[in-house]
Homo-oligomer: A and B are copies of this chain.
Amino acid sequence: MPAGGKADWLAGQLRQAIADGRLAVGDRLPPTRVLAAELRLSRGVVTEAYRRLAEDGHVEGRRRGGTVVVAAPHSVPAAPCAPEPPAPGAAHRAVPGALFAAEPDADVFDLLRAAPAHADFTPGRPALAAFPRAAWLRAERAVLAELSADQLGYGDPRGDLRLRRAVAGWLARNRGIRVRPEQVLIVAGTAQALTLLHPVLRGDGVDAVAVEDPGSLGSRQHLRHGGLATPPVPVDGDGVRVDALRATGARAVLLTPAHQFPTGVVTSGERRRDLLGWARDGGLILEDDYDAEHRYDRPPVPALRALTDRVCYLGSVSKLLAPALRTGWMVPPPQYLGPLTDAKRFTDLGNAVLPQLVLAHLMESGALERHLRLLRGRHRARRDAMIAALAEHLPGAVVHGAAAGLHLTVTYAADVPDTVLAAAALERGVKCQPLSWHRQRPGRPGLVLGYAATPPGVIAESVATLGTALRELAS
């Protein structure tokens, strides 16, 4: 990029930050020297960007007072399709790559989401362009037509009975779980399920929830925020190691048995039996069944909840339809149903009713199962494109966990920290998560690559970019 182009880019970023309020009137811009160092730009580029904003009348130079914001751009376009600004903070936090420099904080996923990129391999999103908009609208029309006025009042904190019935049916057909609708709680996704569980677990004397290592950074952050310790338990080719789980002394464990996050290991039959034995001895399993319906080679293994009620089962539509729906469900052990209902009531009095009834329609009509079949075909093609591209562009890398789910993990031998690789990739417009984010103990570097939301062509060229970045860093 020419220096003028960089100044243009930076001025644009700052203008946007002022327009959407991250920089308010009266705020002082960072000194040019500081910002230049942070962005790895020359100081001249920063000075030039500030000059352009001053010409526009957005900022004023005030000698010792520095450069200060004096007016926001006049029209802030509503632009529903524009990426949303990151959480409050100085403008330079949005700079690509910098977010991998520090220990990931609670807002790290917000920052990563807000970073601009050409390709987004963030795991956990299905093929969002395939969202069944027409079917959703048809179901919404039907719901609005048949809804009683009373249903628009305050509702059951456990969720609408119609959706709980539909979810019970879904779990029976797809996950082998046989429960009555009254055992199902509708929640705002798995993050909320964990929030509801924190006080219930602590009230039950549980002060630590063992977690898989590697295992989801987001879940670990969440449990710690809830005042629970998260002792790590190693994962091998059969799943989580139950001997190591016993050794932690923890009374509860958070698992992803159907498709371990992030390694993709499917828990073996023998390991499942070991886990059930641990549960019989008084252990509680939190089963995060986040993407189990997406299995490419054969039908998914049944959920652990199908085998014992010492399991608190967590599921959602985030990987079936869209994370933005914020809808999920829990099937807790019987003794937790009452306390979790109380927790849900205080948290939000229950999920909103319209989306619950729309989802119930899609489940009852078979539209959701049709959509899942469509997704499986689309995701399989994207997975194959990614495996082919990895073989071509990262020939020494090892692919893990590609038999199911929406992502795979790749490890590599080069002596390059994965945070450095992820930062370099983001600066080249490719967004992905370093494997080390999801580790508590040291291990091989790698990347977690969600492929489900990205078309095959973009996958191929972006994996090529990753290969280039890794070669340059390793040389």
Contacts and interface: CB of A to CB of B under 8 A. Distances in A.
A195 B137 contact: no
B322 A152 contact: yes
Contacts of A323: 152-155, 349
Interface in A282-323: 322-323
Given A324-B155, A346-B195, A128 B150 contact: yes
Interface in A100-140: 106-107, 109-110, 113, 120, 122, 124-125, 128-129, 131, 133, 136-137, 140
Looking at A152, A347, A354, A355, the one whose CB has the most chain B CB atoms below 10 A away is A152
A185 to B, nearest CB: 11
A20 interface: yes
A85 interface: yes
B324 A348 contact: no
Nearest to A130: B149
Given A125-B153, A161-B85, A350 B322 contact: no
Contacts of A324: 151-155, 352-354
A197 to B, nearest CB: 12
Contacts of A355: 352, 354-355
Nearest to A79: B162
Determine how many copies of this chain the complex contains.
2
Nearest to A156: B84
A180 interface: yes
Nearest to A188: B348
A124 B154 contact: yes
Interface stretch (A335-343, A372-380, A381-389): A335-343
B80 A148 contact: yes
A349 B191 contact: yes
A222 B141 CA distance: 35
A338 B110 contact: no
Interface in A351-401: 351-355, 357, 364
Contacts of A322: 152-153
Contact of A326 (B81, B146, B147, B352): B352
A303 B345 CA distance: 28
A182 interface: yes
A122 B154 CA distance: 10
A349 B120 CA distance: 19
Contacts of A131: 149, 152
A225 interface: yes
A345 to B, nearest CB: 7
Interface string A195-206: 100000000000
Interface of A: 20-22, 24, 76, 78, 80-81, 83-85, 87-88, 106-107, 109-110, 113, 120, 122, 124-125, 128-129, 131, 133, 136-137, 140-141, 144-158, 160-162, 165, 180-183, 188-189, 191-192, 195, 222, 225-226, 322-327, 337-338, 341-342, 345-355, 357, 364, 453
CB-CB nearest 3 A-B residue pairs: A21-B182, A152-B322, A188-B348
